[in-house]
Amino acid sequence: MMVPLDVLLIHDSYICTAYHCLKNANKIAAVAGVNDITKRKEGQERTVDQSSFIKIGADPKMDIGLIKLKVPFIINENVRTVRFFKDFNMDFESPADIIGWGAIKLNTLPDKLQFVS
């Protein structure tokens, strides 16, 4: 069974996720370019095994896992890397958009990418 993880595509060859998500994983499939997991063949898929995991932080304060992809994603209009801001001055009162594959009910994972403003 595949369990969707929220990851960041930080480079065409690297994805980043929470370390605790990789802790017991032997293999993961990274899918990009689709917002419905049942249509994954319309996107790009990369399967990676544990040998590609770069576990940066087991410490809960540094819960970062980095994965090097053997085959890079092709960047296009549906697949893009995350943009990081150099000067990050956030007003914590301002609205935000959040997307992810997280569970919306106990023991139930969505097929479609979830979005909330």
pLDDT higher at 91 or 111: 111
pLDDT of residue 19: 82
2-36 pLDDT tens trace: 556 778 899 999 998 888 877 777 778 888 988 88
Q: If one looks up domain 1-76 in CATH, what number appears?
A: 2.40.10.10
pLDDT of residue 4: 60
Please state the pTM of the whole predicted model: 0.74
Residue 70: DSSP 8-state: S
Nearest to 74 by CA among 45, 39, 40: 45
42-85 pLDDT tens trace: 888 888 877 777 766 666 678 888 888 889 999 999 999 988 77
